[in-house]
Structure 1
Amino acid sequence: MTISLIMLVVFAVFIGALMRAMFGFGEAIVSMPLLALLPISLQTSVSLIGMAGLTVALLTVFSGWRHIEKPILIRLAITTVFGIPAGLVLLHLTPAIVITSALGIFLIAYGGYCLIKKNLIRVIDRPLLNDRRWVLPFGFASGVLGSAYNFNGVPVVVYGTLRKWNPDRFRSTLQAHFLISGVLVVAGHALGGLWTSDAFIYYAYSLPAILGAAVLGVFINKRIPGEKFERYLFLIIIILGILLLLPRGSN
């Protein structure tokens, strides 16, 4: 563990935390691919981003509590619990190169979807998935993706888009879900043996950056149109996905 490696890890965590603070999600989607390019283990990356994500959620959830769609949040939390063990099994049984490649393909697909999302929404004039039971598979998927890749927010982002949540409800419900699922995912990482001493060291070094990113993200969100930054974010996600598919040496 060198000073230069620590600085690169802190930078990756900072960029992800900044994205979360600005847009309400996107931390793991940005940080995990960056960490995958560094010579640290997948288990260390997963547990580090799990702890960092929980920290950001703690810093941001309370300001929007009144906008949270609480019945949906409860259903998400319950089904997330059942998805976490499945994600841990997937992480342990699947070779790292398969996970990295799947992650790259997912990022390209997800980034492309988000870029055309606004055009799709213009076509849809009413909320989809009106039956609240639809939240169950999205919650389960959140648990699987959260424990395996720290992508616990992605299914909820898709669900909220299809439900056409307004911005306050979208951001607040997402952050509350991150807080609850973050506790569950981090506990799953501990029980699943993913915690490493390196992860705690990197987290300690990253904590000031996480706090700074939370403050800076709120500042930027209030003063610069988020739509423009969101477009850049998803373009970066696609580029990172492509990078993950390129051949490189083993860590």
Structure 2
Amino acid sequence: MLLLAVAGVAAGGLAQAVTGLGFALVAAPGLIALLGPTRGVAVVVLLGTLASVVPLLGQWRDVQVRDGMALLVPTLLATPVVGFLVAGADTAVVAAAAGVGVLLGVALLWRGLRWRRLHSLPGAIAAGITSATLNVVGGVGGPPVALYAANAGWSPLHTRATLQAFFLVQGVVTVAVVGLVWPSLAMVLALVAGALVGIWLAPRLPAETARHAVLAVAAFGGLGLVVGAVV
């Protein structure tokens, strides 16, 4: 079990470095199975935050600060509100509906469709609020901001850097909420190894391949929401 969890951490670090998101989607199942829900989630959050730090060390100059803040501010403001509104409620239907919406959005963007109105400040705010909602009800806040980035036509480098910065700040705030649980040294080393491989691989991918990778991770997150809601 430990070996599988460590392998998941390495794969999650690689996915995060290549696309700008996806660590929790890949690594969380193994870590939670190994450590249990409470400690597992705390370790996922901390490692996910570190997974954004490693690539940002070389990409921080490419962060689109304005776009990142437009996504981040509504996400952070909406998180406690959503948490209060859904406290004690059955969120399965909301999670399933959101997952279907994410999958539909991925399918349309994969076919080349763009929504100009969504590439705007209101679109960024909507994506941020949706990310906060999905993070609260399903633990998967990445797909909405990934869809926004893909629809906005950001370059792969700007997508990776800006999403890393977004998830870094969101991760720090989340660590403060869920508590600090230190991972093992093997997990940290696996994360760094996976991230370094991803950093090496990312600039070698064609732009269209990198975009499809972002959409694939978003689709994986949407599918996880639907499956988690019905099982």
Structures share fold, TM-score greater than 0.5:
yes
Deviation of 1:212 after TM superposition, in Å, equals 0.6
- 1:17 partnered with 2:13: yes
For 1:209, the equivalent position in structure 2 comes to: 190
For 2:112, the equivalent position in structure 1 comes to: 120
Distance 1:33 1:91 in 2: 24
| Bigger Cα Rg | 1
Deviation of 1:216 after TM superposition, in Å, equals 1.0
Residues 22 and 218, structure 1, Cα contact 8 Å, conserved in 2: yes
For 2:199, the equivalent position in structure 1 comes to: 218
Unaligned runs of 5+ in 1: none
**Superposed, which structure 2 residues align to 1:107-146 within 5 Å?**
110=102, 113-114=105-106, 117-121=109-113, 124=114, 127-146=116-135
**Superposed, which structure 2 residues align to 1:1-251 within 5 Å?**
5-35=1-31, 38=33, 40-86=35-81, 88-89=83-84, 93=88, 110=102, 113-114=105-106, 117-121=109-113, 124=114, 127-146=116-135, 149-190=138-179, 199-200=181-182, 202-225=183-206, 227=209, 230=213, 237=220, 241=224
Unaligned runs of 5+ in 2: none
Deviation of 1:246 after TM superposition, in Å, equals 8.3
Q: Residue type of the partner of 2:45?
A: G
Deviation of 1:131 after TM superposition, in Å, equals 3.5
Deviation of 1:60 after TM superposition, in Å, equals 1.3
TM superposition score normalised by structure 2 = 0.75
Distance 1:168 1:6 in 2: 33
Q: 1:92 to 1:49 in 2, by over 3 A?
A: farther
Aligned length: 228
Query: How much is the aligned-residue C-alpha RMSD, in angstroms?
Result: 3.7
Deviation of 1:176 after TM superposition, in Å, equals 1.3
Distance 2:100 2:9 in 1: 21
Distance 1:77 1:239 in 2: 20
Percent identical across equivalent pairs? Answer: 21
Q: 1:135 to 1:112 in 2, by over 3 A?
A: closer
Residues 13 and 195, structure 2, Cα contact 8 Å, conserved in 1: yes
